[in-house]
Amino acid sequence: MAENPFKDLESSEKAPESLKRALVSEIDTIRNTSIIIDLYVGNFINTITASLNTRSDDSSITTKDEQ
């Protein structure tokens, strides 16, 4: 059997702490941005949907004069 070529790519060295902190910081920034976008866009879409549903419900309401 041939030797695993991926073992040649593996390094026994560890990443520097500054690189780890930078990576974690970048992931936190992406996560926080995603949360903010979700809050604004999700609430905006829910508001539009609720508004459209309210309008369609209002048009189906009949008054005593119409009956």
- Please write the tens of the pLDDT for every residue from 28-54: 999 999 999 988 887 888 888 888 888
DSSP state of 4: P
66 or 46: which leads in pLDDT: 46
In order of 16, 20, 28, the CA distances from 23 in angstroms are: 11, 5, 9
What number is the average pLDDT over the span 10-24? 87
The percent of residues in the chain predicted with pLDDT above 70, rounded, is: 78
Helices and strands in the chain, H and E counts: 2, 0
Q: Which of 33, 34, 35, 55 is nearest to 47 (CA)?
A: 55
CA 38 to chain centre: 5
Looking only at Cα atoms, what is the longest distance across the chain?
89
pTM for this prediction:
0.50
Looking at the predicted structure, is the pLDDT value of residue 24 above 70? yes
